[in-house]
Amino acid sequence: MTIQFEAIDSPYLAPTDGSFRIADAPTRHDEEGGKKYWRKRLRGEVKTIAELQRKFYAHDRFSMLLVFQAMDAAGKDSTIRNVLSGVNPAGCDVHSFKRPSSTELDHDFLWRTTRALPERGRIGVFNRSQYEEVLVVRVHPGILDNQKLPHHEDSDAYWSARMASIADQEKHLARNGTVVLKFFLNVSKEAQRQRFIDRLDNPSKQWKFEPNDLRERGYWDDYMKAYESAIAATSKPWAPWYAIPADDKPTMRFLVADIVRRTLEALPITYPSVDAEDAPEFARLREQLVNEKPNT
């Protein structure tokens, strides 16, 4: 079965040959421009995405899955909100995956995200995803003890097998018309520190801060190793990872929107056309409506 999608080129496209190294991924975009400049460019992308999404929905042959992963305070929520601000809500679903429920733990680790995959014609967004199972769980392997598994071990082979399961599923999805785009919002440790301080200093943002955020920051190096391993293992032409610089939020949002827009433009999507045999009936019904007398 042919896969009808290949990764859109970008300076931030992770290599698809397994050679991704997080040390090579910048946290800042080097093109100049202030906040107004990037916000203006984002508005143009949002408008075009909205137009393309209507055609995508009407075509009803593909679905799109946008996966967002990042360290705390990288800007996942605001990026999703800004990039998809023009999309018809009827054609988009956003799912946020946190600690698994008891029901979810009674299934394999891909079950809960599989249930949330987008239907044809729709855009699905995962704010955190199945990748948590090879990121936070890998950093804290004790979590495996609660997953009711017949066997598990904290070994490179075990995590490689989990990543292979994810990659196999993504290839299956791609074969069947789901366009998978994965975004690692690559924020620096210093930018995260400043954003945590800003949250604590601003009463309207304090609700976003949890003490556990600071505890997880202490595992920064372990998370970077886990991200590097996961991205290297699962970035494929049909399910690419993009390591987007996240230290500047306006730039980050534009870069994500640009990739989404160009991906939609590259798909062979069209508005459905009327069958030739239906055209005379449509013409007759139109004439009927034109000649209909208004109520008096």
Q: How much is the mean pLDDT over the chain?
A: 94
Q: Which residues are registered as beta bridge partners of 92?
A: 123
Q: Which residues neighbour 127 within 8 Å (Cβ) at sequence distance 6 or greater?
A: 68, 76, 77, 80, 94, 95, 96, 97
Q: Tell me the C-alpha distance between 196 and 187, whole Å.
A: 13
What pLDDT is recorded for position 30? Answer: 84
Whole-angstrom Cα distance, residue 287 to residue 273?
Answer: 20
Q: What is the pLDDT of residues 216-241, one digit of tens each?
A: 999 999 999 999 999 999 999 999 99
Residue with tokens 């809500």: 89
Residue 5's pLDDT is what?
Answer: 84
Cβ–Cβ under 8 Å, residues 82 and 75 = no
Give the three-state DSSP class for 273. coil
Does residue 93 carry a pLDDT above 90? yes
Q: Which residues of 111-139 are buried (b: 16+ CB within 10 A; e: fewer)?
A: ebbeebbbeebbbbbbbbbbbbbbbbbbb
Residue 80 has pLDDT above 60, yes or no: yes
